[in-house]
Structure 1
């Protein structure tokens, strides 16, 4: 397959020619790391196989987009072209290339650095190998199948980093100058601080938010850094074949019940994942909220669900109409959301981006910006 022109086009789109990452993006055959993927259509995920549609394969592989390779416990590699799943949660992917490069740039990786990265499809690992040399890269994932596939594909590409099956929130296999995680965490694992060399840098996202955290290890075993003026969302770390969904137990009541409280919001209906700063602020205050939405004609409904039994359902017809809200449980989730929007409306911005981060040796992370503070 004539993939090189496609890879070069992608490199020109996302990286300046003088960047040290340009050669890596232009020279890594991404299609070989994603021979099959799950394509969404509403709630349905359908497998696409590159070999069955080579032109589509090259088009998708060299677009700057994320390709989902695993839904719940179902690997695309184990499915036939056209197989479908109704519903399901993505559990592994090949991250859009520009975001991989941005995360590596936030890490300020230099020649000779020992770097720990997350595996996924292996594409991000391949970029790091081309940039640094395989001997400087360790790649880990909790999924043995993904690690084995990525190792094989990296070998065929001519790269041989150290690859291991490992829970990134547990003990790590070495000492590193940089840790770059393309899965999100909360809190920062203590093992990262133990595995980082003094002065080393970690880069990750905070689970449930669009916040990129960078921090440099200090001599006391903690770290200091900030929330970058950039945004990204990654899948959460998982510790088994798939994710637990504790908020699903709340769904039955939230779907139709009138709840314990009803009100009319002062703001137009918002699906929080469409407004990352709002969602991030809410998640920092009350971690674990899950979101659902539905549209029936002109009527739109958004649900907020929390494992503690709290739920909120907001429904509106017009785009600018204030929604009718029903909520129940220990917390009034939509009222919490409206308080975040009140602050945004009052101050013109939320304090999450640009916040300073202080990480204690036990992983406790405190974010501060002005008078605002939040602890993970």
Structure 2
């Protein structure tokens, strides 16, 4: 199978002609990292794809600038039967190469530096970094034993032998490094990540349930200083076992079916908050842990917000009409969202992107931009 022309086309798409990442992208057989994968069918269920059975689709999928879902819930595509139709949240993927390159660029890597890749997944970032800087400079960790074993074997078949460890990356890490790049999102920021950085080292990560990329340089006091980049990314949250904890499904059912303790007319049209990245990020910074859902039936849209403290909200409207809003529990979640939208409208944007970050050694992140401040802990 002639994969090289596909890899070159991918490199042309996600790198500049003079980029030093062009050759690694063009020389890694990405299809070998994703021999089987999951895709959604028309009913929202996951169906299995086997590359060897559909070689054309395999090449198109593996060498497109998209994430490829390899694991749903606790079931990896490599272990599924052709007839399997699974449900649940994706728990691992091969991150789309354009985003991998952006994260690597944020890392400010140079020759001879030791890199820790947190979130091995299918092994793409590890492969690209090993190609460019040598596998002896690259370490990768993941909580999933099978992901580590599969990546180790598939990279070895490419002649790459980085160190790969199975562990919960929110705990202790297996060394000290000049650069740490995480392709899983976290909140709070693990103090162990700062401890594993050499003084002057650089951290690149994302904040869970946001689109925020945090970059920071380690300082002599054991903390770090940096910023929230004027860039965005969405990575799966870190997990501590084979699957994520169950979500707030019972409270979502309440939000769908019950009348609110308070019913009002909203100021702004219904929005799919999950995909309105700036709004979603500020909501998560303001009220950590809000879970979301969104439905569209013809011209009618409904958004749901729920929180573990028992708060919930449902907003429904036709097209861009003012929505009818039902809310219950100790907090008024839709009111909180509308306050954020008021600020966004009045100021032409929110203060997140580009804000300065000071991180204390225990991992608490203090954000500031102008008069706006916030804390991530």
**TM-score using structure 2 length:** 0.98
Matches within 5 A, 1:126-145: 126-145=127-146
**What residue is the counterpart of 1:183 in the other structure?**
184
| Structure 2 counterparts to residues 1-376 of structure 1, below 5 A | 1-41=1-41, 42-85=43-86, 87-117=87-117, 118-318=119-319, 320-376=320-376
Instruction: Write the distance in 2 (CA, Å) between the matches of 1:317 and 1:290.
Output: 23
Between the aligned partners of 1:71 and 1:304, the Cα distance in structure 2 is 24
- The more displaced of 89-98 and 303-312 is 303-312
> Partners in 2 of 1:16 and 1:192 — Cα distance?
31
Q: Please state how far the C-alpha of 1:82 moved relative to its aligned partner.
A: 4.6
Q: CA deviation digits over 1:178-226, x for unaligned, max 9?
A: 0000000112110011100000000000011000000000000000000
Q: CA–CA distance in 1 between the matches of 2:30 and 2:147?
A: 15
Determine the C-alpha separation between the residues in 2 that align with 1:360 and 1:208: 22
Q: CA deviation at 1:293?
A: 1.5
Instruction: Look up the SS of the partner of 1:199 in the other structure.
Output: strand
Distance in 2 between residues matched to 1:19 and 1:82, nearest whole Å: 43
Please, what is the CA RMSD of the aligned residues?
A: 1.0
Mapped partners of 1:81, 1:205: distance in 2: 34
Deviations 1:110-156 (A, max 9, x none): 10010000200011110110011000000100000100000000000
CA deviations 1:48-71 (Å, max 9, x no partner) are 110110000000100000011111
State the distance in 1 between where 2:268 and 2:217 align. Answer: 40
Q: Deviations over 1:285-332 (max 9, x none)?
A: 1111111112223222111111111111111112x1111111111111
Distance (Å, rounded) in 2 between the aligned partners of 1:342 and 1:321: 17
**Alpha-carbon distance in 1 for matches of 2:53, 2:81:** 10
Q: Deviations over 1:141-174 (max 9, x none)?
A: 0000100000000000100000000111110000
Aligned to 2:271, what secondary structure does the other structure show? coil
Shift of 1:7: 0.3
Instruction: Measure how far apart 1:11 and its partner are.
Output: 0.2
Aligned partners of 1:290, 1:242: CA distance in 2, in Å?
A: 17
Query: Could you tell me how far 1:45 is from its partner in structure 2?
Result: 1.0
Q: Distance in 2 between matches of 1:369 and 1:82?
A: 52
Q: Distance in 2 between matches of 1:249 and 1:129?
A: 45
1:246 Cα deviation (Å)? 3.9
Larger CA deviation: 73-82 vs 260-269: 73-82
Deviation at 1:249, TM superposition (A): 3.1
Distance 1:145 1:17 in 2: 36
Are the aligned partners of 1:247 and 1:309 in contact in 2 as well (CA < 8 Å)? no
* Gap runs ≥5 in structure 2: none
SS in structure 2 opposite 1:183?
strand
Provide the aligned length of Structure 1 versus Structure 2: 374
Which consecutive unaligned segments of at least 5 residues does structure 1 have?
none
| DSSP-derived class of the 1:212 partner | strand
CA distance in 2, matches of 1:74, 1:282: 31
